[in-house]
Amino acid sequence: MTGLKTSLDGLLRAGVDRGDVPGVSAMLTNGAETLYQGAFGERELGGGTAMSLDTVVSIASMTKAITATAAMQLVEKGELELDAPASKVIPYLGEVPVLDGFDDGGQPILRPAKTAITLRHLLTHTAGFGYEMWNREILDYQAATDSPSIRTRKLATLKTPLLFDPGTEWNYGISIDWAGQMVEAVTGQRLGDYMQASIFAPLGMASSSFKASPDMASRQAAIHLRGDDGALRATGGGAGLPEPEFDTGGGGLLSTVEDYTKFLRMILNRGECPGGQILAAETVAMMSANQMGDTRVGPMMTAVPPLSNDAEFFPGVEKAWGLSFMINLGPAPTGRSAGSLAWAGLTNTYYWIDPAKDIAGVYATQIYPFCDTLSLPLFLAFETAVYDSLS
């Protein structure tokens, strides 16, 4: 693996030197051991503190797979059901209307949903919920009703209407936040407390939490913005965000590439880790399979350019969703096998899991907007180099 390390070190270091990213950390694993680890650049551009494998980053929507793991643990125990109405656990989820447009005065036109939201819908993003970053209708609804933006981190931000009837389409949104609320409802615990006892502790993920401990805060990277001129500027270590009113299962976790690699390795090992069986092998197989039938994942067109560019992974390759992973149904141009699992975080954090080749990787920097024009290509080059070395 000496040649692989040299290749990947050179690739990531060059990305930092070119200014593609302020700092980056990355790891590669199989089911048995770490195959690569490296970190380059700075936690904050010009700050003088080196990026490291234990640098704490906002993993944003990489939180979703961990929240889904928590939910599926409870499905195994019979405390949650995939296909029962979610309103059995959270009554409000039986009352969410569908947004059918706006009247001449700009007020929303709402109607009752024709089908019931289920946990399976939530975990596959087929419930009808959206995110304001990629759905202009949500922004218009917030403006018309004086509803809070998701960036306020208020619980009320989850009370947006559906964009279609549950089970009829795919749309990326706040569904996993509601799955996290279901975990809280049946356990009587905050989501982070449940994760700590049932996922983080057995996996040895000591630097993963919804709230940074003093030690974690001392290792946290700054989030950077890519300006129209292509230059990066630091916005601070995430400390400027409002205190969240709830543990945001869709995107609130802080973690490190070291910690997240332990989670990825557990999935490769079908739920097993040194601390015990996190999930049954059959559950991991279910999570890793298409759970949305003939529905397919589509592109996410930005409605808030400072937060996200238009986003689509591997255009031309059909993609479905498991519980809760994106699944590329055909081989990816990077070398990723058909049937691999993946997703990402708004701050330009990315991961993939390739069960067919027993390999998984994670890459983290801290940049807005999502699908950054320089950071995303660097991640894809990293992945491609990994598969080139395997072949």
Q: Which residues are catalytic?
A: 61, 64, 172
Bridge pairing between strands 340-345 and 349-354: antiparallel
Q: Which of 302, 312, 371, 367 is nearest to 139 (CA)?
A: 302
**Cα separation values, 288 from 22, 47, 279, 365, 373, Å:** 33, 40, 12, 26, 29
CB of 317 within 8 A of CB of 332?
Answer: yes
d(CA 60, CA 251): 4
Q: How far is CA 379 from CA 25, 340, 352, 373, in A?
A: 11, 16, 11, 11
| Cα separation values, 234 from 53, 56, 89, 223, Å | 20, 15, 42, 6
